[in-house]
């Protein structure tokens, strides 16, 4: 294959890693396919807004045994590897055409982790040096990479990600026998956290990760607990969730044998995890406040925020004209934008008298009606 054919194949293969794509369904912030068949992904810009980036693998020729992965070493299919110069040249052609803002570069493990990392950082060095590209680069950290290889990636990238895959050691063991959870995943993530922490040399670099949902038979409660820990203890910029696609992995994988739900339910499970992620990152919830079913999974039938509100009737109704920001964010149907609008009205000395005053009364905003009241203004300031 020539470089263009390899890029088409490897860019398509990269869709199985979603750790730069938002978890919404459709819309401007979701991945989409360009006219030439390559995947384009959203990325948040430093000063707000979003743009798109090209995403590709450097290679799909892997030595690892990850049982969920369609590119694991024991499978027989067409494999190829791009040279660093080929990736850089193709990407810059897209940049010059103003089709993309940045590059997400991942790879299967070619030979060993450090060899793969060296080839990936070679792409970044060419872009930063030869082409003087100062835009967005997201580099995947290969599990098992050395400290030196990780630091080299941090010196070149705006964002790095190492996929945690599973929330516990036992779940991780169900996915691979070759990789070690503490040595190859937890240790490197802690190192990246130290190197990118406030006041450190690479403080401007973000760290992200991804959970594979459903492959190892893990429970949502385990994923949520691990997600909360990643944000609070390691300061990750973002955690992503990818519903395991049945039929791609080893037939004996727990997710192939034990997942009783259909494809739509698996995607709804992923969606509920993204809702919980939003509650943790934006609404101030802890992992212990998230409501789970008896089996340790999130309800597929109801929004977790609304379930929490129904379980705490003593907290409601909340006075829209007196409650502080954190109290208002607990109201089902109220998001950051609505709460910001309420606080702005109160700062201007206005009293909120009805839900309709806050915007068009759609299904989401209508949820709030049973959880709020409209008392006299002025009891509290907008904290």
pLDDT value at position 360? 78
Greater model confidence, 378 or 152: 152
Q: What is the pLDDT of residues 190-204, one digit of tens each?
A: 999 999 999 999 999
User: Above 50 in pLDDT, residue 248?
Assistant: yes
Q: What is the pLDDT of residues 330-358, one digit of tens each?
A: 999 999 999 999 999 999 999 999 998 88
**Crossing angle for the helix pair 147-154 and 113-129, nearest 10 degrees?**
20
In which residue ranges of the chain is CATH 1.10.150 found? 312-373
Mean pLDDT over all residues of the chain?
87
Q: What is the pLDDT of residues 156-192, one digit of tens each?
A: 999 999 999 999 999 999 999 999 999 999 999 999 9
* pTM to 2 decimal places: 0.86
Alpha-carbon span 303 to 310, nearest angstrom: 11
Q: What is the pLDDT of residues 250-270, one digit of tens each?
A: 888 888 876 555 556 888 999
Instruction: Could you list the beta-strand ranges (E) of 188-296.
Output: 206-213, 238-243
DSSP state of 287: G
pLDDT value at position 2? 77
Q: What is the pLDDT of residues 83-92, one digit of tens each?
A: 999 999 989 9
What kind of fold does domain 312-373 have according to CATH?
DNA polymerase; domain 1 (1.10.150)
User: Above 60 in pLDDT, residue 49?
Assistant: no
User: Above 50 in pLDDT, residue 22?
Assistant: no
pLDDT value at position 52? 76
pLDDT value at position 8? 73
Distances 371 to 27, 105, 144, 250, 263 between C-alpha atoms, Å: 29, 46, 49, 47, 34
Following CA atoms 118, 120, 126, 131 in sequence, which dihedral angle do they give, to the nearest 10 degrees?
A: -160
pLDDT value at position 60? 87
Backbone angles phi, psi at 53, to 5 degrees: -135, 155
Q: What percent of the chain has pLDDT over 70?
A: 86
User: Above 80 in pLDDT, residue 51?
Assistant: no
Distances 201 to 154, 159, 197, 198 between C-alpha atoms, Å: 9, 14, 8, 9
Give the pLDDT band (50/70/90) at residue 372.
very high
Give the pLDDT band (50/70/90) at residue 238.
very high
pLDDT value at position 39? 54
Give the pLDDT band (50/70/90) at residue 381.
very low
pLDDT value at position 101? 86
Give the mean model confidence (pLDDT) for residues 229-235.
96
Give the mean model confidence (pLDDT) for residues 300-328.
96
pLDDT value at position 27? 42
pLDDT value at position 71? 80
User: Above 70 in pLDDT, residue 38?
Assistant: no
Give the mean model confidence (pLDDT) for residues 126-152.
97
Q: What is the pLDDT of residues 105-118, one digit of tens each?
A: 999 999 999 999 99
| H or E stretch covering 359 | none
Alpha-carbon span 367 to 216, nearest angstrom: 35
Give the mean model confidence (pLDDT) for residues 223-239.
96
Greater model confidence, 32 or 8: 8
Greatest distance between any 2 Cα atoms in the chain: 72
Give the pLDDT band (50/70/90) at residue 21.
very low
Greater model confidence, 9 or 317: 317
């Amino acid at each position: 294959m020539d470089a263009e054919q390899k890029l088409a194949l490897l860019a398509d293969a990269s869709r199985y890693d979603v750790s730069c794509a938002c978890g919404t369904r459709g819309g401007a912030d979701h991945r989409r396919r360009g006219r030439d068949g390559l995947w384009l992904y959203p990325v948040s810009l430093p000063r707000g807004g979003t743009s798109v980036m090209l995403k590709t693998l450097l290679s799909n020729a892997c030595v690892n045994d990850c049982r969920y992965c369609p590119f694991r070493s024991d499978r027989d299919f067409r494999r190829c590897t791009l040279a660093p110069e080929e990736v850089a040249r193709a990407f810059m052609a897209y940049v010059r055409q103003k089709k993309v803002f940045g590059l997400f570069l991942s790879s299967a493990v070619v030979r060993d982790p450090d060899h793969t990392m060296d080839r990936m950082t070679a792409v970044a060095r060419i872009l930063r040096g030869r082409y003087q590209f100062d835009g967005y680069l997201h580099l995947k950290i290969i599990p098992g990479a050395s400290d030196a290889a990780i630091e080299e990636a941090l010196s070149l990238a705006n964002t790095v990600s190492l996929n945690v895959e599973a929330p516990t050691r036992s779940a991780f063991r169900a996915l691979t026998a070759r990789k070690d959870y503490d040595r190859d995943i937890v240790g490197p993530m802690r190192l990246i956290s130290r190197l990118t922490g406030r006041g450190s040399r690479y403080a401007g670099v973000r760290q992200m990760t991804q959970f594979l949902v459903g492959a190892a038979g893990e429970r949502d409660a385990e994923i949520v607990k691990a997600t909360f820990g990643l944000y609070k203890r390691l300061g990750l910029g973002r955690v992503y969730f990818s519903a395991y696609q049945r039929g791609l992995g080893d037939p004996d994988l727990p997710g192939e044998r034990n997942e009783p739900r259909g494809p739509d339910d698996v995607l709804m499970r992923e969606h509920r995890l993204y809702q919980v992620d939003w509650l943790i990152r934006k609404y101030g919830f802890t992992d212990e406040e998230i409501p789970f079913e008896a089996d340790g999974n999130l309800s597929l039938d109801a929004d977790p925020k609304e379930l929490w509100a129904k379980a705490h009737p003593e907290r409601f109704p909340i006075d829209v004209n007196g409650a502080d920001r954190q109290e208002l964010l607990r109201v089902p149907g109220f998001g950051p934008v609505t709460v910001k609008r309420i606080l702005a009205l109160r700062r201007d000395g206005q009293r909120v008298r009805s839900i309709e005053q806050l915007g068009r009364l759609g299904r989401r905003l209508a949820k709030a009606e049973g959880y709020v009241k409209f008392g006299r203004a002025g009891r509290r300031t907008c904290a």
